[in-house]
Amino acid sequence: MKLNAFTLQKKYPNLQINDINALSDQFEEYDLDHDGLLDQKEIQNVIKLAGYTNSYDDIRANLKQVSSNTTGKIDLEEFIDLVNRLKEGRNKGAFDVHQHKILVRGEHGDATHTINEDELTEFTRHINMVMEGDRDIADRLPIPTNTMQLFDECRDGLILCKLINDAVPDTIDERVVNRSRKMNNFQMVENNNIVINSAKAIGCSVVNIGPEDIIAANEYLILGLIWQIIKRGLLNKITIQQHPELYRLLEEGETLDEFLKLPPDVILLRWFNYHLKAANWERRVNNFSKDLSDGENYTVLMNQIKPENCSLDPLQERDLLKRAEMILENAESIGCRKYLTAKAMVGGNPKLNLAFVAHLFNTYPALQPLTEEETPEIEPFDAEGEREARMFTLWLNSLNVEPGVYNLFEDLKDGLILLQAFDKVVPNIVQWRRVSKKQPLSRFKQLENCNYVVQLGQENKFSLVGIQGADIVDENRTLTLGLVWQLMRENIVRTLQSLAKRGQSITDRDMVQWANEIVKKGGKSSTMSSFKDPSLRSGMFFLHVLNGMKPGVVDWNHTTPGHTDDDAYNNARLAISIARKLGATIFLVPEDIVEVRPKMNLTFIGSLMLVEQQMRSN
């Protein structure tokens, strides 16, 4: 790409004609694929080698204002504009740290947020550690912990996909992830569709973030997403299925059912206090911030779980930062120095303290194993209704209800979450003046709310024979699941109707017919008769639907006829990841397809139907 050096010299008087010609030569030298564009890495290299600056963040800050390309690439004139800005000293120190905070601006400079320096450093360290040796991203590692490079490395979605699989293994079938070193915008969108929809599927709250936000390297949103993924991975292991010895944390008079309703972070606090009590220490921990900032409780906890490595010496140190460093040296001696810095401990950073405590628990729970007689009977996750409860929990959280749902039946019993969901599915249906909101709600007020929920369901022609508000308040699993299912189905149907601009309701038969027509359109002959069709277990029908939606999206070399359970599982897992790649929000798991669960299959086809309508409208 040749430009008129004289014209450019007038536009950028800080640069001489010789400078512009030299920059043009450097641009061509680094444009290895000769597409007239330099990517982020090439830009950083040429700017540093040319001696304009060695600061990654100064280059990055100016680049955000120069690049007009959605993927952050720049052409020759933009490259010259970038160099001119650097010579003028623009945006110098734009990402400097002030009181452990970094100020970041929105894409158009119209909004500002702060991100925490320690969180950026520790999350970057975590990614470097868990992805060490991964051949797909070996050339990107280690990512520097003292720059904003992490956000640029996340733009194409590849690192975030791998982070999700590290947190919750096998969530994403990596065979469908784009891996090329230089991705175009379309490939980045596909990867980030997988990221966002998979993050929702593992329970992250992904609201107001789209593929374009990740591609734009939105620091505030990406760091928040990374934290949620890391947190999910840490807390997922704190279950009584994986740690039956958690049974020892039950308090006097508490039943196992009551204990199992506790969120993992509350269980962590219970575990922490169990060890403080065992050490005859008078203090207790009620949060992950101020109760940990002086380091005393940490010192006692670590001495209790690993006394041979972790002494009580930090208690003798009066300087809090020095004490915090002594505690982290103890953590290092037992292989647990991760997530937390001395500054973050003294500052009471709740995210990093939570991560550190979870890491301690996952490494050294230090609870006496149960004897055979003590071991309680624990209902397996695959028990009837458990998978449905998981799917409905994820779906409700995707609606951004407040507070978020953790234990479905416990969290729905006052009716407020269900009323919020109704109001989002059928806008303005709830007359909020009729609703009791002030906590804590008496049983009478809970019944009033839940009776109103049932009334709204009846008004929308839900099948609610025999269900009353008391059934929700009393956590009747079967009846509550039945109501939530009909609300979720109503959401799917209404969304499809609004996109299709059709007045009449969409039936199960309509969805089945649509799926069969899409399969035929893609040149395949398989059909389904209903969402209970036994042939669905192989996963092939869903792959045929995806092929009909976008020819070429399925690599048939990755599929099998699905005759065995393992082959059917792999087909189902592949289909789910491809659907997310196309932008579908999918909450079911491969086992749901293999076991032919009709409700789950309906949500899958409904989501695909929604994506196909969006593809056509675009």
- pLDDT of amino acid 107: 57
Q: Is 106 exposed, middle or buried (0-12, 13-18, 19+ CB in 10 A)?
A: middle
- Residue 110 confidence (pLDDT) above 80: no
Read off the pLDDT band of 378 (50, 70, 90): low
- pLDDT of amino acid 242: 86
What's the rounded mean pLDDT across residues 2-23? 78
Asked if 82 and 8 count as a contact pair (C-beta separation under 8 A), the reply is no
- Residue 64 confidence (pLDDT) above 90: no
Question: To which residue do tokens 């099998």 refer?
Answer: 560
Read off the pLDDT band of 195 (50, 70, 90): very high
- Residue 5 confidence (pLDDT) above 80: no
SS3 string, 537-603, reads HHCHHHHHHHHHHCCCCCCHHHCCCCCCHHHHHHHHHHHHHHHHHCCCCCCCCHHHHHCCCHHHHHH
- Residue 106 confidence (pLDDT) above 70: no
Dist CA 388 CA 492 (whole Å) = 16
Question: To which residue do tokens 């928040």 refer?
Answer: 224
Read off the pLDDT band of 23 (50, 70, 90): confident
CB 600: neighbour CB atoms within 10 A? 20
Read off the pLDDT band of 566 (50, 70, 90): very high
**CA distances (Å), origin 181, targets 138, 184, 187, 257, 432:** 11, 10, 11, 50, 52
Q: What residues contact 143, with CB distance under 8 A and at least 6 apart? A: 124, 127, 128, 149, 150, 153
Asked if 518 and 548 count as a contact pair (C-beta separation under 8 A), the reply is yes
pLDDT digits (tens, 9 = 90+) for 379-438: 555 555 788 898 999 999 988 899 888 889 999 999 999 999 999 999 999 999 999 999
pLDDT digits (tens, 9 = 90+) for 312-364: 999 999 999 999 999 999 999 999 999 999 999 999 999 999 999 999 999 99
Amino acid occupying residue 483:
L
Helices (H), 460-507: 469-473, 477-500
Asked if 536 and 600 count as a contact pair (C-beta separation under 8 A), the reply is no
pLDDT digits (tens, 9 = 90+) for 206-265: 878 999 999 999 999 999 999 999 999 999 989 888 898 999 999 999 988 888 889 999
Structure tokens at 442: 């008496």
The DSSP symbol for 293 reads T
- Which of the two residues, 239 and 9, has the higher pLDDT score? 239
Q: 3-class SS at 114?
A: strand
What's the rounded mean pLDDT across residues 528-537? 96
Q: Model pTM?
A: 0.89
